[in-house]
Amino acid sequence: MSWPIILSNISVPLLGLVGTAVIGHLPDARYLGAVTLATTLFNMLFWAFGFLRMGTTGLTSQAHGRRHDNEARALLLQSLALAVSVGVALIVLSPWLVPAAVRLIGGAPEVQALAISFAHIRIFSAPAVLSNYVILGWFLGQQRARTTLLLTITSNAANVALTLALVLGAGLHSDGVAWAALVADYLALGLGIALVIRHSHRLSSQFALGMLGNMERYRALFQVNKHLFIRTLALLFVNSFFTSRGAASGTTILAANAVLLEFIMLTSYALDGFAQAGEALTGRAAGAQRFDQFGAAVRACARFSVYTSLGAALIFALAGPWLIDVLTSIDAVRQAAREYLPWLVAMPVIAVWSYLMDGVFVGAIATRPMRDTLLLSVAVFLPVWYLSQGLGNHGLWLAFTLFMVVRSVSLSAIYVHHRRGIWADAATRHELH
């Protein structure tokens, strides 16, 4: 299952790398800074509702394991209704939300102005982005990994082509990146709906609007997703805080951190391929009450995750300076990124366990410990950053690295402590005590 998911996942940060490379070779670093700030904003706005993907995957995979096609259909319709509602609400609130959020993140005034212009365009893709989360989660929960690959590759290929045309061809600079993403998101949604209709003929039940009114299923959906929502907000807070503190150190540090974070995103999306395969496989095993298969899936995903993380660390150690030069031609940004490169080399080996365990806990619909361990990690991150401010940007990277250490260690410890018997209870009651 993993290879289509990995290809699908890494196409997302590769898209970010293309955008960064295109903007990074413009003569003014303001545009790269603006795209960085705006991307941070939309990571915060959109991925705050990432439970629409994760929760849909976990619940659908368990319904798939129980062979409850009617439940899987209802989950899709209800999650889509929630996604569209949230997306429309974000658009309505955007005249007030966007400027306030950009100012909160920080940056030079001219960079903020460009970021706000970007954001006012990109916000109109909210219903499509959140609906695409649901559709991807639904197909992944049914172990339709190649379908998720088709959806993601199509969306990102369109995005890359449009970015090149609008930024380099039409000269729209940072706004061109926003228009490209907007069009690509709705193209992906249209394809996703078509694939859902095609796949629905293979299920034993039919879609019905009456499924939208089943309040009991909504209750289960919210019960699972509320912990994921809080956990995701905490994670996004740390990412946004990291960008904000980098912006406070100047446009060059902001841009250098953005370059290194693109590589971290690339690695995390690749490792998430095994984690998301783990979501579907452990969820199906839990739904079918086959916990021998549950453990086998965890061991297999762990093995390949470790191999991949070691390979990524080696690549960054050997080819890091060259990779930085590919993304930006601005000398000051190149020099700053090289200074902080050792943190990037260490990150894959440290973070791999947090990605893997996230997948395991989502598959088991054991979302409370995901929330609790993330909050614990934030509680470590903030004091470490505060005490290490004298180290400058190195102190910020130190705090971020320890944040990932706590995530990995705490989730892994809970899994090891409770691996015998607790997953059956979580799968039955959608709660981990």
Q: How many domains does the chain fold into? A: 1
Which residue, chain included where needed, has tokens 């095609």?
Answer: 198
pTM for this predicted structure: 0.74
Answer left, alpha or beta for residue 68, where phi above 0 means left and psi between -120 and 50 means alpha. beta
Alpha carbon distances (Å) from 406 to 16, 357, 403: 27, 13, 5
Closest CA relative to residue 347, chosen from 272, 268, 281: 268
Which of the pair, 185 or 254, is modelled with greater confidence?
185
- Let me know if 405 is exposed, middle or buried by CB neighbors in 10 A (0-12, 13-18, 19+): middle
- How far is it, in rounded angstroms, from Cα 257 to Cα 259? 5
Question: 139: domain range?
Answer: 2-429
Summarize pLDDT for 383-408 with one digit per residue, the tens. 999 999 999 899 999 999 999 999 99
Under 8 Å CB-to-CB from 298, ≥6 apart: which residues?
Answer: 278, 282, 356, 360, 415
Which DSSP category does 209 fall into?
G
The arithmetic mean of pLDDT across residues 6-12, rounded, is: 69
Question: Is the CB of residue 31 less than 8 Å from the CB of residue 254?
Answer: no
The DSSP-derived string for 25-46 is TSS-HHHHHHHHHHHHHHHHHH
Dist. CA 267–CA 127, nearest whole Å: 27
Residue 28 has pLDDT above 70, yes or no: no
**pLDDT tens-place string over residues 164-188:** 888 777 777 778 888 988 999 999 9
Residue 34 has what pLDDT? 76
The answer to whether the CB of 128 falls within 8 A of the CB of 188 is yes
Q: Taking residues 372-385, what's their average pLDDT?
A: 95
Q: What is the DSSP string of 88-140?
A: HHHHHHHHHHHHHHHHHH---HHHHHHHHHHHHHHGGGHHHHHHHHHHHHHHH
Residue 152 contacts residue 111 (beta carbons within 8 Å): no
Residue 421, Cβ neighbours under 10 Å: how many?
A: 8
Predicted confidence (pLDDT) per residue in 53-74, tens digit: 887 887 888 777 677 667 778 7
Condensed to tens digits (0 to 9), the pLDDT of residues 309-357 reads 999 999 999 998 998 888 777 888 889 889 999 999 999 999 999 999 9
pLDDT for the residue numbered 87:
93
**Cα–Cα dist 24/57, whole Å:** 36
How far apart are the C-alpha atoms of 56 and 219, rounded to whole Å? 14
Q: Per residue in 199-232, pLDDT tens?
A: 877 665 555 555 556 666 667 677 777 888 898 8
Q: How confident is the model at residue 427 (pLDDT cuts 50, 70, 90)?
A: very low
pLDDT confidence tier of residue 430, bands split at 50, 70 and 90: very low
